[in-house]
Chain A
């Protein structure tokens, strides 16, 4: 029982490359900035509890998250090496920065869009605080380096999300969504933590690196089953976050019932958080060649195939746009899972992984944009179904153009980076010789083209209903949507900016 019992020695900590004056904490600057933003919001709220100064609150949130975006971007592009903090509990490397960039930018967009959406509802400060705290949790997930931090930061992300989904507490849909999200979430986290406990039982450690070391040293054969069950249960916990089947059941309702900006936030950022956790846990803690008898690649292949298929097929016949987007977001989780499912020996593994990362990045913008458009529609109160969108383009051409960019990019047409990232994943699937995944991707994206273009058709082709009228062009929402559209569009020619860091970050885990 003396396997890998050593807790990380101070020596291991001390010889880190970037131990500067700030004690290396500047490495997690984004997290800290977000935390401070949350505190600032608390302060504002405590000073003027009854004020409904939406602009101030969202302004602070936007500014805070934008600062975080800039810092992250700078760190990402200057390529800070891998920094371990708190005796290895946290690690800041290309991977975590890449995803932190996604989280923070999505947060900024959502906060910007919420300006009109929240309008003058009660508990605004709480709303923004919860958003920012969830974002903080995500950044922590991105850099979590031990199962303990992973679980805690996961909870830090989930608990605010539950509350946010149920934010419209007089709206049955929102509450029901919150409930379902919470119930499935708590169940999943129970599964997750139980899995952790089993892995701990088998390896006697929670640090990814040590777990990996123990595994590569080889564990007592009688514990393989325990380890395996633990790994699969952890996979379950991750699958909940990424809304992958069979842990996806909360997603359609949560995305449909929640306030649209929150749906955007969850379906883009929270999903990405799940993926970064998956990447890190399974690649650092359970390396494919080290872990014997637990073929989690196969598990992810099954998951990917089922998820993308079920998600897209269910999306194909929806009546409401928001629910269609919810299912499509499940489908995209399936696409992104290819990044893990295609990690077979034949594949160029860093590339496959980076393809998944790039897809999540682009998805962060196009999907957020799409949901924000739904938020706009809800703001105008023109209804939820496809028919309600008929002829919208004649009233709001810019927003509809942006929406078309999002949808086509989601469908994998060259109106944005979604085109490239999806085809990178397809390349990965083919290269890994997981032809089933390739075929699934083909069939599903063909189908997805059908239901995405239903929205486009409604907006541009169909005749508007007689009483279609919209009041006002909310600045924040428009700003957010147009920004997302521009970024999505630019990610087609300018993807190189991110594809190279993604590749380096991806190869960092092998």
Chain B
């Protein structure tokens, strides 16, 4: 019942905040949002799940399974439960939501009750996404996330907020539809071997050899491939993977700081989480057969995203594009299909959630005081805002993968995972992808030098003062968490490892054919080489 408690608190609390007048909402919502943290930490402490939720021999933590309704031949269940992958993500969600709410106190000054109410509703749907194990329940939450996000960007966003909101809205919705078709192509391929749309049931059915039959004119393998890539296309938008990433910078730049934090910290993880759950757990053999194509996507995201970040002048855009780059590492790790690849990818989800959250918060604090985000508009901030400057330095170095910070562990695991992966030229691709860490250092160092250091000056005439306490506290909390995870990753990784190790046993020994896919992959690696 713990999960229902989480959802209930967020939903009821959200509605309560929504209905109560503005003057209460900020503090009230903060107070309410502490309850999920308590609950999730308690769950984390008492977590007793074993193995991967979708695979054989797993025991789910906090599981609930109730009959919902039937779709034609399929029984739908309300089925939620946690394993080592989803548990940390839920904790991340609860923590980031609270910090985001705290960081909203300064910038959000109108229609507060609606804002904080939506934040809590968003938290509920995000928790649902990570907890749901039946396709339709999952899909309800997955789509439900869009609605609060649409309002949060559209109402409280920047000048081009309407464009950004509708772009995000429609773009991701199309993606969901495409993914939906892919999933059901797979389900129909399974024919009568599944009676429910529970993901564990489907995974179980798929594990049987030759489970997937031909659908229409498509051969079984074609069905799987089509399903895989339709789903990949759908999730890639959320992640986002180049070239379907363009909604992200707009959404980030226009969204208010707290929303950016959730967007980068949790929302993007939905995509990678779904990739891990669907593509890479349900169809591992396709994932390996086309490993080189997927790696190509990952590398392009990493390098190209980093280059884009290098070209930006708006601090928020820099962080946004570097998110594209970092999420590329997650894809890289997933494709590797080794323990450290998958585990590192999951760890990177958590770590990037914290780090990008931290940086967005920092940018927000800077913006609240200077009312500009343009690198060229400010310099020497370190003199007037020492703590914030320190946090920015910490966040930037965390992003660069500084040891003893979570980013380093995550990236190192991903790299070692994909270095040892068994698709062709794995070390070459890994090396190319790793060049991202140099570019990332490049643009963060440049940005810091221009904004924080040098003679103090700000182009906008506002009184530059130290940030308020409730602005600084989130930064400190996040830095502490980042360092804690960086110096003792076992806190989380033990759980993750237990959940992803079963996936590594899904790997078929077949070497990825270096056919056209291989050529394409090599081409990309050469492209990377040129950049290098």
Contacts and interface: CB of A to CB of B under 8 A. Distances in A.
Contacts of A346: 216
A460 B216 CA distance: 46
B155 A433 contact: no
Contacts of B188: 430-431
Interface in B155-182: 155, 161-162, 165-166, 169-170, 173-174, 177-178, 180-181
A430 B150 CA distance: 29
A449 B188 CA distance: 27
B314 interface: no
A503 B73 CA distance: 10
B184 A460 contact: no
A423 B136 CA distance: 10
Interface string A330-362: 000000000000000010101110110000000
Contact of A433 (B70, B141, B150, B215): B215
Interface in A479-510: 492-493, 495-496, 499-500, 503
A408 B150 CA distance: 12
B143 interface: yes
B144 interface: yes
Interface residues of A, number: 39
A445 interface: yes
A431 B69 contact: no
A424 interface: yes
B155 A460 contact: yes
Nearest to B173: A449
Contacts of B165: 457, 461
Contact of A430 (B70, B144, B170, B181): B181
Contacts of A413: 143-144, 146-147, 173
A453 B184 contact: no
Given A430-B188, A449-B170, A496 B69 contact: yes
A302 interface: no
Interface string B181-213: 100110010000000000000000000000000
Nearest to B69: A496
B151 A500 contact: no
A354 B69 CA distance: 13
B154 interface: yes
Contact of A442 (B73, B141, B174, B215): B174
Contacts, number: 93
B469 interface: no
A500 B216 contact: no
Given A449-B170, A449-B173, A453-B150, A442 B155 contact: no
Contact of B70 (A414, A460, A499): A499
Interface in B30-71: 68-71
B72 interface: yes
Contact of B170 (A355, A424, A446): A446
A319 to B, nearest CB: 17
A424 B169 contact: no
A427 B72 contact: yes
B140 interface: yes
A427 B144 CA distance: 19
A419 interface: yes
A423 B154 contact: no
Nearest to A430: B184
Given A351-B72, A433-B215, A433-B216, A423 B180 contact: yes
A352 B136 CA distance: 17
B169 A431 contact: no
Contacts of A350: 72
A431 B188 CA distance: 7
B144 A414 contact: yes
Interface string A152-169: 000000000000000000
A473 interface: no
A141 interface: no
Given A457-B154, A461-B162, A446 B140 contact: no
A90 interface: no
Contacts of A423: 136, 139, 180
A424 B71 contact: yes
A503 B166 contact: no
Contacts of B216: 346, 433
Contacts of A461: 151, 154-155, 161-162, 165
B69 A499 contact: yes
17 contacts: A413-B147, A426-B184, A431-B184, A442-B174, A442-B178, A442-B181, A445-B177, A446-B174, A449-B173, A453-B150, A457-B165, A460-B154, A460-B155, A461-B151, A461-B155, A492-B140, A499-B70
Interface of B: 68-73, 136, 139-141, 143-144, 146-147, 150-151, 154-155, 161-162, 165-166, 169-170, 173-174, 177-178, 180-181, 184-185, 188, 215-216
8 shortest A-B CB distances, which residue pairs? A351-B72, A496-B69, A433-B216, A442-B177, A446-B174, A414-B140, A461-B154, A414-B144
